[in-house]
Every structure is written in C-alpha cells, then in structure tokens.
Amino acid sequence: MIKEINSQKTFFVNEVHDLRMYQGNALELLRQEKSETFDLIFADPPYFLSNNGVTCQSGKMVSVNKGDWDKASTLEDMHTFNMEWLGECRRLLKPNGTLWVTGTAHNIFSVGYALQTLGYKILNDIAWHKVNPPPNLSCRYFTHATETILWARREQKSKHTFNYEDMKRENKGKQMQSLWYIKPPSTHEKRHTKHPTQKPEALLERIITAASNSGDLILDPFCGSGTTGVACAKLGRRFVGFELDENYLTIASKRIEDEILAKEVEKNKK
C-alpha cells in the first residue's frame, strides 16, 4: 500500500533494515531530500537509446525502445537533464561521498562532461564487459559488449571510501583493474519478470562493497527493478530508491523481500 511519508509516496518500507522506495519523478524527489544525506549514490539513468532500432534477445529480433522515459528530443535536452539530476546528487552526497553512474556511448559523454562541470572528481572509468552480449544484427559495426561506469567523488580533495583489501581479496590477491568481467542478470534474478535495463546483482555488490561500509546510506534515484536495494539488503547497507513505474516498484519490492528472507534463513542456520 502506498502511504505518505515526508510528502513522498512511499511504496516500500522495511523499518528493521532501513530500506525504502518512493514512487515519483526522480528529479522532483531528489529536490525534496536534505543536503549531505547519502554516503554513496548509484545511478542507472536513461541512456536515451530508444531510437526505433532493433537488437537480438533470446534469438529473436526485438525493438530497442524502452519507453518514453528513455527518449530525448535533442542532445541539449539530454545534457540539461543530466546536469540537473547530477547537480542534485552532488548536493545530497556527504562531503566524502561518491557517485557511480552507468552508461553507454548514447549518454556517458554527456554524463562525464556534466560531472566535471559540476565540480566532481572522476576517480575511475570502469568498463563492464558483459561476457555474452547479444549479437550485432546489422553486421555493420562491432558488437556492443561493454558499458561504462563512472566513479566520482563529490569534492576534488576529500577522503572517499575505497575498501582496497576487499577488492584485492575478491581478485585472488591481485589489484583489481577497471575492466570487470560480469555476466548479465541470471534467469533467477529476473524471476519476478523482466526489466529492460536490469543490472546484475554481482555488479552492484562489487560497487557497494568497494565504496561503502556497513550501515552506510545508499541512494538509487532510478532504481528500476531494485538491484541496488537487493545488494544493500544482502550487505547490511541502508537504502533509498526512487522509481516512477509502479510495476517496477512491485518487482523491486518482491526481490528485496526475497533477499531479506534468504538472509534470515541463513542467519538461523548459523
């Protein structure tokens, strides 16, 4: 049931683990939050690639169109949007907080320029190699096998969190590089139905483990089917998510509840 909390439509709340999701326009909800609230922000914003093209999915030709939220009338409109939401995110980050943004060639250059314009310090540009991407149907250019993830801190000079030893341990004792081999979401991760741009849980678990600590507050302003919330529930972080689409919020709620239950079962076994 949707109820009003702090003038926001709260779709999902778990008080024990401090996990919340709000339904509404991301930019409007960002403007309502208090400054310097969040330790980490992960954002998977619109890529603006809904251009009536086609791609391959499960061996079938399908449209790349995701919905009206993934369309921009001009490049100027796209960049204005990126400047607005990234500006709000910078205001909401704590002084030592960091921001992670995913994208492709359709939007990532605008995001990168906006980050630098707004005063962020870009720490890494990470290439996520999807390992088994869909084939290129036109055979006119290389198969798209990566997405870019920009990692930036709020201030040019600040002490951002980076759990170096955890990343080194995950990488079998070697420094982790900025090329990440992570498979797309599994069938199990999409068991409650599909989201067109769902990110794998392993990707969010790595990001959150690398750049936050237990009990930190994480924001995802475009939370979609809730992968960030699932990772937070698993790793003991607090979570706030924004999403406009009620159907995706319903999926996200089920996924987060599943993770909480699984964690409780594991705890009882121990």
SS (HEC) of the chain: CCEEECCEEEEEEECCCCEEEEECCHHHHHHHCCCCCEEEEEECCCCCCCCCCEEEECCEEEECCCCHHHCCCCHHHHHHHHHHHHHHHHHHEEEEEEEEEEECCCCHHHHHHHHHHHCCEEEEEEEEECCCCCCCCCCCCCCCCEEEEEEEECCCCCCCCCCHHHHHHHCCCCCCCCEEECCCCCCCCCCCCCCCCCCCHHHHHHHHHHHCCCCCEEEECCCCCCHHHHHHHHHCCEEEEEECCHHHHHHHHHHHHHHHHHHHHHHHHC
How many angstroms separate the Cα of 172 from the Cα of each of 35, 135, 175?
A: 39, 31, 9
In this prediction, residue 62 has a pLDDT band, given cuts at 50, 70 and 90, of low
- Cβ contact 30:88 at 8 Å: yes
User: Alpha carbon 54 to chain centroid distance?
Assistant: 24
- Cβ contact 8:66 at 8 Å: no
Q: What percent of the chain has a predicted confidence (pLDDT) above 70?
A: 89
- Give yes or no for residue 5 having a pLDDT over 50: no
Find all residues with CB under 8 Å of 216, minimum gap 6, and list them.
39, 40, 161, 237, 238
In this prediction, residue 270 has a pLDDT band, given cuts at 50, 70 and 90, of confident
- Cβ contact 50:71 at 8 Å: yes
Task: Please give the residue that has the higher pLDDT: either 247 or 71.
Answer: 247
Instruction: Say what the pLDDT of residue 50 is.
Output: 52
What's the whole-model pTM score? 0.88
Partners of 179 in the β-ladder? 127
How many Å apart are CA 187 and CA 191, to the nearest integer? 6
As a residue count, the chain comes to 270
Tell me which of 50-64, 96-110, 247-261 is least confident. Answer: 50-64
- Give yes or no for residue 55 having a pLDDT over 80: no
Find all residues with CB under 8 Å of 67, minimum gap 6, and list them.
50, 196
